[in-house]
């Protein structure tokens, strides 16, 4: 793993400044035809809108965006974001112990260096601190992410066949659901 990387939940006060970088990470996945809830056409503005829509919940502590950042900064003095993952604290009265994980993304040029793992480790620490002891997530069946989540100790619970449209709109794809008890 590269040195000089910090991984932590983004502070609400810093969130807006990293939205352009989060938007680029998300758009790059959709452009690579990775299932992320979106389909083409998908612009950088669409991606920014998605991240901005989470801001209120982040301020309220209902959602966290865990980010891996390089210690160096860009020309605007904003630390360079290498990857991210969302932890959503379920809000229904019967699911106060559950967290939902999503948008686990490591920038293409930084993959396979252990950054995904340290993001998941940090996300799980945040979950425990918030008394969330059951984590659920889903990913595209047959993707590399499926293997990644298995490596991270998540248990496959099943597949929903053909439930999503691929970003390029060319085919239906299946979703594999995972669970981990902390
Ligand atoms: C999936 C993803 C987050 C993994 O991040 P990463 O930083 O490359 O993962 P790490 O380097 O921490 O790898 C951790 C382990 O998972 C394995 N792994 C990671 N990506 C893998 C892949 N594509 N295929 C097989 N194994 C993989 C690694 O080999 C490593 O295993 P090890 O502990 O036995 O050595 C990254 O590939 C990514 O951003 N993909 C595109 C977005 C995506 O698909 N996200 C999931 C959507 S739900």
For residue 84, being part of any structural domain is answered with yes
Q: What's the CATH code of the domain at 114?
A: 3.40.630.30
For residue 179, being part of any structural domain is answered with no
> Which ligand 1 atom is nearest residue 137's CA?
48
For residue 108, being part of any structural domain is answered with yes
* pLDDT per residue as tens, the chain (182 positions): 445 899 999 999 999 999 999 999 999 999 999 999 999 999 999 999 999 999 999 999 999 999 999 988 888 888 899 999 999 999 999 999 999 999 999 999 999 999 999 999 999 999 999 999 999 999 999 999 999 999 999 999 999 999 999 999 999 999 999 999 99
Whole-number Å distance, alpha carbon 93 to ligand 1 midpoint, is: 33
For residue 21, being part of any structural domain is answered with yes
CA-angle at 160, arms to 156 and 166, nearest 5°: 110
CA dist 120 and 67 (Å) reads: 10
What is the tally of structural domains in the chain? 1
> Which ligand 1 atom is nearest residue 1's CA?
11
pTM: predicted TM-score of the whole model, two decimal places: 0.97
Beta carbon of 114 within 6 Å of any ligand 1 atom: yes
For residue 145, being part of any structural domain is answered with no
Structural domain boundaries, residue 47: 5-135
């Amino acid at each position: 793993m590269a040195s000089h990387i910090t991984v932590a939940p983004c502070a609400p006060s810093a969130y807006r400044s990293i939205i352009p970088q989060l938007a680029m990470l998300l758009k790059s996945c959709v452009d690579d035809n990775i299932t992320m809830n979106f389909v083409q056409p998908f612009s950088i503005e669409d991606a920014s809108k998605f991240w901005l829509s989470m801001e209120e919940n982040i301020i309220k502590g209902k959602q966290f965006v865990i980010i891996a950042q390089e210690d160096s900064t860009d020309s605007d003095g904003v630390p360079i974001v290498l990857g991210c993952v969302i932890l959503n604290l379920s809000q229904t009265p019967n699911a106060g112990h559950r967290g939902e994980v999503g948008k686990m993304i490591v920038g293409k040029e930084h993959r396979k260096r252990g950054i995904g793992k340290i993001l998941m480790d940090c996300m799980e620490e945040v979950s425990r601190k918030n008394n969330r002891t059951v984590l659920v997530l889903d990913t595209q069946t047959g993707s590399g992410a499926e293997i990644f989540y298995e490596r991270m100790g998540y248990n496959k619970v099943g597949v929903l066949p053909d439930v999503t449209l691929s970003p390029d709109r060319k085919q239906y794809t299946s979703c594999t659901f995972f669970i981990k008890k902390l």
